[in-house]
Structure 1
Amino acid sequence: MSVLLIEPFYGGSHKQLMDLLQEELQEDCVLCTLPAKKWHWKARTSALYFMQTVPTSSKYRFMPEHKLARLDKVIGVKRNGDAYQSEGLPGQEESRAVMKTSDAHLESGLCEPQPGLCTTQHEGLPSPAAAPVRAEAPQSTNPCQGEDKQRLTFNLSNILSGLDYQQRPLHIAWPHRWEHDKDPETFFKVLMKLKEQDLTFHVSVLGETFSEIPDIFSEAREVLGSSVLHWGYLPSKDDYFRALCTADVVISTAKHEFFGVAMIEAVYCGCYPLCPKALVYPEIFPAEYLYSTPEQLFKRLQNFCKRPDIVRRHLYKGETAGFSWAALGSKFRSLLAAEPREDL
């Protein structure tokens, strides 16, 4: 089996899945990526980039015959043996202009100075003319991270180790990207309201940062003050899971979510989830873990702050085993090995 994996946003849970597939499949596996920046631009333009850079191979670039015939009519595709090359594709010239590595395009996150962003595990497969380069995870540009980040990381273990487990304040985790589609504004406004009412809690904000950070983060960091246990991205997965294992509640306020790996990971680490009653969440989480409005979220956290022992004794009523590789690995293999169907 030969597999082509394409990931235009190679970071976070996207990177985690691609790396897992590449590691577990072991066979001829080609991974083509772009850096995890400007996801809205990647959605619009990454196809143009991959159209020119993905290596052509008869081992995996197959399509059903009826689709190839249709493609011949629409864009003039000419077959060349088992592989095919395209001539006169719409937007090809525009694509070349877009992918030039000018300062403006680099700022937009469409491409990096490296000439290629494909990685392979099999030397026999064709590769782009440029030397393959693996896309690295983006470096944090969060001004709140650095010495202060280290201090807070150490304080996390120091504070928690010196308190009786049941007497500790409620520990809230928010493990999402520091971007507007995760709605940090709602999350922090709820926490600020808890603070105004002199309710005691700790918070760990663990998500990844990019070039633009919403203003609410600096405002919230100042207002929350000593309630903050950790502030910033943890590059070490062990440190990340350790932080989740010390948390009591994990919150999502997302406006955009196709699955929510971070929430499942936190539940697996023992956190009580609170998610919007929207998007994908009702398909995954039982009703008692869902809220409809910020006011409902506030009231749930208000009660938990007063009685954190309720959360700590709680046993999650949903299922997480079905999301493990042990459960899904064979399904991924079957899907990737399947012959093309006429109805696709």
Structure 2
Amino acid sequence: MRILLLSAYDAQSHKYWREGMVAQFPEYDWTQLALPGHHFSWRIRSNSLQWALSERATLDQPYDLIIATSMVDFASLKGFVPNLANIPSILYFHENQFIYPPSQLTKKPFLDPKLVTLYAALAADQLVFNSCYNQQTFITGVRALLKQVPAKLPVDLAQLFEEKSSVLPVPLKSLNVCDYTGVNGSALWPKRVNKACLRLVWAARWEYDKGPHLLLAILRQLKQRKVDFKLCILGQVFRKQPLAFDSIKTEFSSELVQFGFAKSRHQYLSWLAGGDIILSTALHEFQGLAVQEAVQLGCMPVLPNRLVYPQIFASHYLYDSFPNNHEKESIAAADLIQEFPLRSLKNDSALAFVQQLLWPNIKVKYQQLLDFHTLPNSLSNTLPKDS
């Protein structure tokens, strides 16, 4: 079977999923097109044009199945390359833009990314989401957006999308903590002088939607309480970044042991393996791969009680969520962090859930997804007809 795999905004998690799927199914003939994960607004709006003009020979090949991420302007791509129109297609959602948190810096209406994804969902035969939370917020967001359309549409698109959608998480590669730690733990971390010294890890893109200002507030809370900790800040760094990171670098220079993108995948995992707590302050998260990998390597999750987290982690790993009040939320997070030494930093229930997402435990579901090409593939089969 020949499969065309399209990733229009190939950020780290998207690349992780794409490469993992290809590696797990070497018996298929894969053709991959991927665009770098930066310049988001331009990328999501122009990817179909770029591919249609620069990859026409590749796109015109006969394929049995197309798998595209939801960042692909799939409706436009089908228009530019008519040969793609009748090939069975799956749209995979790593995230959706319908609940992107509003920023004080955002002045323009955040409409284009929503419409591109909506049109792509209409053009695809099947929709697959990485979590129930992602699926639910997309359907709800579509319904809310279409209520604003001046002319009422004759078809309930939200219901249509719900009927042709399913949930299938990004599978995790199996990690062995011993591969990333020595006898005394990860060699990257300084040796503990005080046994009570906590090793905190924060691993996310250095952008507004990952909550860096809340992270700063939590760190200030811990310092005010005289909590002994070392701090590892990981994640993709961009040319423009929130000012909170400058404050963190200045105020917590004595606590910081890592500040920025890890030099290699092995080094990144070694930082995780040597940590005690993986802290999230996210305002926009749909699966949380970084958290799940950290848990797999022994970290205790400390997460806000919002987004996808309540669906996958027990309540004792969650701090109260006050996204519009950093002070209250930072107090709740600091309280939870201080509790964990009393619990001996056990992450048993979190680890049990994460292990369900390993490739050996979920591969059969991906096999069923790839077998989708045997089903009817015409969009006209999913849209209601006039009576």
TM-score, normalised with respect to structure 2: 0.60
For the residues of structure 1 that align with 2:84 and 2:9, how far apart are their CA atoms? Answer: 31
For 2:364, the equivalent position in structure 1 comes to: 330
The CA deviation at 1:290 is: 2.0
Identify the residue that residue 50 of structure 1 maps to in structure 2.
51
- SS of alignment partner, residue 320 of structure 1: helix
Structure 1 position 322, deviation (Å): 1.9
Contact 1:274 1:297 in 2 (8 A): no
Q: Secondary structure at the match of 2:187?
A: helix
Structure 2 gaps, min length 5: 68-74, 88-185
- The count of aligned residue pairs is 261
CA–CA distance in structure 1, aligned partners of residues 364 and 271 of structure 2: 31
What is the alpha-carbon distance in structure 2 between the residues aligned to residue 171 and residue 80 of structure 1? 50
In the alignment, residue 254 of structure 1 is paired with which amino acid?
A: A
* Residue pair 1:199, 1:302 contacting (<8 A) in 2 also: no
Q: 1:62 to 1:215 in 2, by over 3 A?
A: closer
Percent identical residues? 26
The equivalent residue for 1:24 is 24
> Partner of 1:59 in structure 2?
63
SS in 2 for 1:32: strand
Map of 1:116-195 to 2, 5 A cutoff?
157=187, 160-161=190-191, 163=193, 167-195=195-223
Q: For 2:37 and 2:334, locate their aligned partners in 1 and report how far apart those are by CA, in whole Å.
A: 32
Indicate yes or no: 2:258 matched with 1:221: no
Corresponding residue number in structure 2 for 1:39? 40
Distance in 2 separating the partners of 1:5 and 1:82: 16
**Which deviations, in whole Å up to 9, do the C-alpha atoms of 1:172-212 show, x marking residues without a partner?**
11110111111111111211222233322111001111221
- Find the counterpart in structure 2 of residue 308 from structure 1: 341
Displacement after TM superposition at 1:283 (Å): 1.6
Q: For the residues of structure 2 that align with 1:77 and 1:271, how far apart are their CA atoms?
A: 47
Q: 1:25 to 1:307 in 2, by over 3 A?
A: closer
* CA distance in 1 between partners of 2:310 and 2:51 (Å): 34
Matched, 1:9 2:13: no
Aligned-pair CA distance for 1:227: 0.7
Change (3 A) 1:45 1:183: farther
For the residues of structure 1 that align with 2:297 and 2:274, how far apart are their CA atoms? 9
Q: Does 1:208 align with 2:208?
A: no
Deviation at 1:245, TM superposition (A): 1.4
Q: What is the one-letter code of the residue matched to 1:226?
A: S
Matched, 1:239 2:267: yes
Equivalent position amino acid for 1:310 in 2: R
| Contact 1:245 1:270 survives alignment (8 Å) | yes
CA displacement 1:29-77 (0-9 Å, x = unmatched): 01111111033433333233334435222223679xxxxxxx9xx9799
In 2, distance between residues paired with 1:175 and 1:272?
A: 13
**Amino acid aligned to 2:341:** P
Letter of the structure 2 residue corresponding to residue 287 of structure 1: S
Contact 2:291/2:301, CA 8 A, preserved across alignment: yes
2 CA distance for matches of 1:79 and 1:242? 46
Please tell me the residue identity of whatever aligns with 1:337. D
Letter in 1 for 2:31: V
Equivalent residue letter for 2:343 = I
In 1, Cα distance between the equivalents of 2:346 and 2:79?
A: 61
CA contact (8 A) 2:210 2:281 kept: yes
d(CA) in 2 for partners of 1:337, 1:62: 12
Which of 318, 333, 358 lines up with 1:290 in the alignment? 318
Output the amino acid matched with 2:294: A
2: distance between equivalents of 1:76 and 1:200?
A: 58
| Aligned counterparts of 1:61 and 1:42: Cα–Cα separation in 2 | 23
How far is 1:162 from its partner? 5.2
Give 1:163 deviation, angstroms.
3.8
> Comparing 284-293 with 311-320, which one deviates more in the overlay?
311-320
